[in-house]
Structure 1
């Protein structure tokens, strides 16, 4: 059986910086293409670099396995395998969720998710028998970090 993945993006400032740089690479490729009237090797290489970074940016997801929540991030050192009993609370906002767990570096981490992914993730995690945390619906939770 294929494991279900739930895609997410990091907090707003990090997402804006990442995607701005990624689309900057695309525009550089388009500028290089306009400089020549025929296919140009360097512009194609830069376009390939854009597709690589766009793929990496979309490769952030959650996966629920037995008693673990796997947080797959862009950098391998930021990937986490969190036990479901260690999750203390999940705050659900209109466009994001915030997971509070002692296994995170700052004890809490925010994730931007689409409404469809967010509801599917919450339904799936609530069905797991190892999950004991409280889920709080907080309509005032915004997508930017506020500490």
Structure 2
């Protein structure tokens, strides 16, 4: 049986920086293409690098196992396997969720998700018997962290 994945993006500032750099590579490739009137190897290589980073940026997702919430991130160092019983609370905002767990370095982490992914993720995680956290609907939760 194929596991269901729920795609997410990091908090707003990180997402803006990543996607700005990624689209900067695309525009650089387009500028190189405009410099020549025929197909140009270097512009095609730079375009390939753009597609690589675009696919890499879309490779952030959750997977829910029987005991774990697997947070698959861009860098292998940032990937986490969180025990469902250690999740204390999930705050649900209009465009994001915040998961509070002792297994996160900062105590909680913010994830931007589409409405469809967010609803499916919450329904799926509530079905797990080890999940005992409270789910709070917070319409004031914004997509950026406030310190």
> TM (normalized to structure 1)?
0.99
Residue 5 of structure 1 pairs with residue 9 of structure 2? no
Q: Distance in 2 between matches of 1:76 and 1:2?
A: 22
SS of the counterpart of 1:104? coil
Specify the alignment match of 1:140 in structure 2: 140
Specify the alignment match of 1:25 in structure 2: 25
Specify the alignment match of 1:123 in structure 2: 123
Runs of 4+ in 1 over 4 A off after TM superposition: none
Q: Distance in 2 between matches of 1:32 and 1:95?
A: 37
Specify the alignment match of 1:82 in structure 2: 82
Specify the alignment match of 1:47 in structure 2: 47
How well do the aligned residues superpose, as a CA RMSD in angstroms?
0.3
Aligned residues: 147
CA offset digits 1:56-110 (Å, max 9, x no partner): 0000000001110000000000000000000000000000000000000000000
Q: Which runs of 5+ in 1 are unaligned?
A: none
Q: Distance in 2 between matches of 1:133 and 1:81?
A: 17
SS of the counterpart of 2:91? strand
Q: Which runs of 5+ in 2 are unaligned?
A: none
Residue 67 of structure 1 pairs with residue 60 of structure 2? no
Specify the alignment match of 2:15 in structure 1: 15
> TM (normalized to structure 2)?
0.99
SS of the counterpart of 1:14? helix
SS of the counterpart of 1:91? strand
